[in-house]
Chain A
Amino acid sequence: AQSVTQLDSQVPVFEEAPVELRCNYSSSVSVYLFWYVQYPNQGLQLLLKYLSGSTLVESINGFEAEFNKSQTSFHLRKPSVHISDTAEYFCAVSGNTGGFKTIFGAGTRLFVKA
């Protein structure tokens, strides 16, 4: 069985400060890892993904995440956040089991303050 743990339910941070949203997963098979962002009353948007290859993956808006197999983590980072980054962030895992269904973490609310 697969599971995802997002260690922080809320992360308040000042604008232009760095941020890290933590995600740990468990799985008995090889995994694919994702970060999704959800703005209020909207659906999910894929932020970035790890499928294979380089363990550091980046998004077009400055976020990055690093796959760490030994620590079973996929933390999301951004060196300098903007007000517009305020949203709910979900870490998700998918693997070669159960038809590649995706399991989501509980979510982390990133609140960027001016």
Chain B
Amino acid sequence: GAVVSQHPSWVICKSGTSVKIECRSLDFQATTMFWYRQFPKQSLMLMATSNEGSKATYEQGVEKDKFLINHASLTLSTLTVTSAHPEDSSFYICSARDNRKASYEQYFGPGTRLTVT
């Protein structure tokens, strides 16, 4: 089946620093990748949608200068949280889809837990 990995699985960083999270599709080409964040005991909130080779489309209320998304290849997307603050602590989940397939199904990564101290 389609597998999506994320790295790191958890990260602790100090306030003011930046942290990069990688999302990889291991056995398929991800024409579109999505980034979500999930607060404890809450649902997933879509942050942005990125298509390979294009700029990401951010959801309303998401700061694009703070959450930098790069989707440079069909198997890799990165989310960089710049100048992180404690309120950025969350569970970040990516998903990937091959738009050329008719199922329109997204495959989710295992998530990255970010803690900003």
Contact = CB atoms under 8 A, between A and B. Distances in A.
A94 B104 contact: yes
A106 B42 contact: yes
Q: Is the interface of A mostly helix, strand, loop or mixed?
A: strand
B43 A107 contact: yes
A102 B43 contact: no
Nearest to A100: B104
B67 interface: no
A99 B51 CA distance: 10
B93 A43 contact: yes
A107 B42 contact: yes
A42 B105 contact: no
Contact of A44 (B57, B93, B97): B93
A49 B105 contact: yes
A7 B17 CA distance: 40
Contacts of A98: 49
Contact of A51 (B104, B108, B111): B104
A94 B97 CA distance: 12
Instruction: Tell me which of B46, B102, B108 has the highest count of chain A C-beta atoms within 10 A of its own C-beta.
Output: B108
B43 A101 contact: no
Contacts of A44: 44, 93, 95, 108
Interface of A: 32, 34, 36, 41-46, 49, 51, 90, 94, 98-107, 109
